[in-house]
Structure 1
Amino acid sequence: MAFWFVGLLLSSVLNPLKANVEGDALYALRRALHDPANVLQSWDPTLVNPCTWFHVTCDQDNRVTRLDLGNARLSGRLVPELGRLERLQYLELYKNQLTGNIPEELGKLSRLVSLDLYSNNLTGTIPPSLSKLASLRFLRLNRNRLTGRIPRELTQLKNLKIFEVSDNDLCGTIPTSGSFSKFSEKSFENNQRLKGPELIGSVSYVLACN
């Protein structure tokens, strides 16, 4: 009985602490964004946790599981603090005007199922750290300004069902191993420096990016 009480007490203490960490992470995102439509108006850092904020979904433990900010007229940058949302499953930030790099810290979101960043103005490379997202099923990065190669580490994502990187400025060759064996050419189109499919043992993918 004593162990049960101690466990309950610890849970009551730790969950608000986790909620505060997640609230701080989301508020860091808010500070990095320009929000002309005031869709983030309810994001008040003085609240105990962010579960009452609009566009944020939480589980029964008041941990953030979903962030829905697609087509919200937002501009600005993504922040590395997003990597603190340990239970996040859906990160929806498509059809905005986001700029800058995709933070490598997103690779810490071990429960992420869907990452939708398409139709923005994101630059830089695709972080190889995304290969750590073992639960990821949907990765949509199309219609941005991403450069560099498609990280070969992403072929390790066994659960990946949708991969979209069309309309960027990627280079190298298209991977064909692992989950990439089932993706069509449409997923990669309109990348003028991207060739494919990849030939095992070929140096062409190295030369194409130089």
Structure 2
Amino acid sequence: MAATSLLCISLTLTLLHLAAANSEGDALYTLKRSLSDPNNVLQSWDPTLVSPCTWFHVTCNQDNRVTRVDLGNSNLSGHLVPELGKLEHLQYLELYKNNIQGIIPPELGNLKSLVSLDLYNNNISGSIPPSLGNLKNLVFLRLNDNRLTGPIPRELAVIPSLKVVDVSNNDLCGTIPTSGPFEHIPLNNFENNPRLEGPELLGLVSYDTDCPAS
């Protein structure tokens, strides 16, 4: 009887892992469908497979949960998708040096395990989602060399692990935060934003009516 119960528990856990892996595969396949891939770097992303862990440029942990997506400098264009927010074990999202357009989905704020978000050197527009302030394990946030507008969300200043923020070469406005991790971020990581003013005085936020959060 006990052996049967253990078998049922084991089978249930296996099915749950497979369902989770399949859900993550669906999310990544949605991303693939939103991208133009002239070099076929996503050719192995086959939605008929139970798990995405055999796909190139995808890394999984021992539980077959996606922990890395490495697609930097892959000549991709298109846009990001909200479904990326379902990759709850993702630690590294590397999409730098492509030609990705559109906005940063607010759903990326659901990636509670994320350590590194590298979207630099793309063509991303819109504002930086305040929901990124939910990423309490984030260490690296590199959004430089895009077309981002609006203010730097103050929610980012409460991320205790944040060490690197680079938003240079965008079109951000308002003032530069000075509290929390921003106390140690060099000013050249904010340069070449023509409408971005200097650091906040005494940590006071400047509410600029010409700088709406888009």
Same fold (TM over 0.5): yes
Partner in structure 2 of residue 77 of structure 1: 79
Partner in structure 2 of residue 8 of structure 1: 10
TM-score (norm 1): 0.96
Partner in structure 2 of residue 178 of structure 1: 180
Instruction: Say whether the 8 Å CA contact 2:157–2:179 is kept in structure 1.
Output: yes
Partner in structure 1 of residue 137 of structure 2: 135
Instruction: Say whether the 8 Å CA contact 2:175–2:205 is kept in structure 1.
Output: no
In the aligned structure 1, how far is the partner of 2:86 from the partner of 2:149?
Answer: 26
Instruction: Say whether the 8 Å CA contact 1:114–1:137 is kept in structure 2.
Output: yes
In the aligned structure 2, how far is the partner of 1:162 from the partner of 1:204?
Answer: 23
Partner in structure 1 of residue 28 of structure 2: 26
Partner in structure 2 of residue 159 of structure 1: 161
What amino acid sits opposite 2:196 in the alignment?
A: L
In the aligned structure 2, how far is the partner of 1:20 from the partner of 1:29?
Answer: 14
Partner in structure 2 of residue 97 of structure 1: 99
- Distance of aligned partners of 1:202 and 1:163 in 2 relative to their CA distance in 1, 3 Å threshold: closer
* Structure 1 unaligned regions, length at least 5: none
* Structure 2 unaligned regions, length at least 5: none
Cα shift at 1:10: 1.7
In the aligned structure 2, how far is the partner of 1:152 from the partner of 1:206?
Answer: 14
Aligned length: 210
Cα shift at 1:203: 6.8
Q: Secondary structure of the equivalent of 2:26?
A: helix
Residue-by-residue CA offset, 1:76-98 (whole Å, 9 max, x unaligned): 00000000101000000000000
In the aligned structure 1, how far is the partner of 2:201 from the partner of 2:8?
Answer: 58
In the aligned structure 2, how far is the partner of 1:6 from the partner of 1:202?
Answer: 58
Cα shift at 1:152: 0.5
Partner in structure 1 of residue 44 of structure 2: 42
Q: How many percent identity over aligned positions?
A: 65
In the aligned structure 2, how far is the partner of 1:79 from the partner of 1:35?
Answer: 15
In the aligned structure 2, how far is the partner of 1:81 from the partner of 1:144?
Answer: 22
In the aligned structure 1, how far is the partner of 2:119 from the partner of 2:203?
Answer: 32
In the aligned structure 2, how far is the partner of 1:41 from the partner of 1:19?
Answer: 19
Partner in structure 2 of residue 53 of structure 1: 55
- Distance of aligned partners of 1:56 and 1:202 in 2 relative to their CA distance in 1, 3 Å threshold: closer
Cα shift at 1:11: 1.1
In the aligned structure 1, how far is the partner of 2:210 from the partner of 2:188?
Answer: 20
Q: Secondary structure of the equivalent of 2:199?
A: coil
Partner in structure 2 of residue 192 of structure 1: 194
Deviates more, 1:11-20 or 1:1-10: 1-10
- Distance of aligned partners of 1:202 and 1:55 in 2 relative to their CA distance in 1, 3 Å threshold: closer
What amino acid sits opposite 2:17 in the alignment?
A: N
